[in-house]
């Protein structure tokens, strides 16, 4: 965990307080819990900006760090093509137990903000270039799938760097399959 991270996973309220203490403007909207992009699309109403989906991936052979990837919500990409694009070993979807241990959140609440609970180097983070360079706001969960938080892309990346993580901006491979 980062040196200033609590021993227990951070709470959504604690996370939002950390952002505020750093002077990071965050707009948070509470809603019914959502577990899929389709559910979030139906509930979010008029939230301007880019909406995301997040993949928590594990090395297939257990070698190397976990990988958290943030993509535009409609992006379709195969996990194998994603691994090749990022120079990662063969990847599989991380289990619920791995997700909870690494990021302190359950399935459905995966978010780059959960890196607040991860030791630097234990989870590699990659974000789609279109999310960093295009929108005024990027919407992610604040450690719970019962809310969405909009942040300026530069503030999101700056917060992760503050925690000791090194965000990687990348161009996803063309759609060919799953995720």
Domains in the chain, start-ordered, CATH in brackets? 12-170 (3.90.960.10)
Please provide the distance, in angstroms rounded to a whole number, between the alpha carbons at the two ends of the chain.
28
Does residue 49 carry a pLDDT above 50?
yes
User: Binning pLDDT at 50, 70 and 90, where does residue 179 land?
Assistant: low
Per-residue pLDDT at 5: 45
User: Binning pLDDT at 50, 70 and 90, where does residue 4 land?
Assistant: very low
> Residues with Cβ < 8 Å from 33, sequence gap 6 or more?
108, 144, 145, 146
* Residue-averaged pLDDT of the chain: 91
> Residues with Cβ < 8 Å from 153, sequence gap 6 or more?
131, 132, 133, 135, 138
Lowest mean pLDDT among 5-14, 83-92, 133-142, 159-168: 5-14
Please give the backbone phi and psi of residue 85, each rounded to the nearest 5 degrees, phi first: -60, -30
Per-residue pLDDT at 42: 72
Tell me the pLDDT tens digit for each residue of 72-130. 999 999 999 999 999 999 999 999 999 999 999 999 999 999 999 999 999 999 999 99
User: Binning pLDDT at 50, 70 and 90, where does residue 22 land?
Assistant: very high
Q: What are the structure tokens assigned to 33, written together?
A: 């819990």
d(Cα 32, Cα 86) in Å, to the nearest integer? 34
Angle subtended by helix axes 153-162 and 12-21, to nearest 10 = 100
């Amino acid at each position: 965990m980062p040196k200033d991270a609590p021993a227990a996973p951070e709470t959504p309220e604690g996370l939002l307080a950390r952002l505020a203490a750093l002077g990071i403007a965050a707009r948070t909207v509470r809603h019914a819990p959502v577990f899929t992009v389709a559910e979030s699309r139906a509930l979010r109403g008029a939230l301007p900006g880019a909406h995301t989906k997040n993949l928590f991936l594990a090395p297939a052979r257990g070698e190397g760090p976990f990988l958290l990837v943030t993509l535009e919500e409609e992006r379709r990409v195969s996990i194998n093509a994603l691994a090749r694009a990022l120079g990662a070993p063969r990847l599989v979807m991380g289990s619920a137990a791995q997700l909870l241990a690494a990021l302190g959140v359950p399935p459905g609440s995966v978010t780059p903000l959960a890196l607040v609970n991860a030791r630097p180097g234990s989870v590699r983070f990659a974000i789609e270039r279109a999310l960093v360079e295009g929108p005024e706001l990027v919407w992610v969960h604040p450690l719970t799938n019962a809310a969405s938080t909009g942040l300026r892309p530069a503030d999101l990346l700056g917060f992760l760097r503050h925690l000791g993580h090194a965000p990687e901006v990348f161009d996803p491979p063309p759609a060919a399959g799953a995720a």
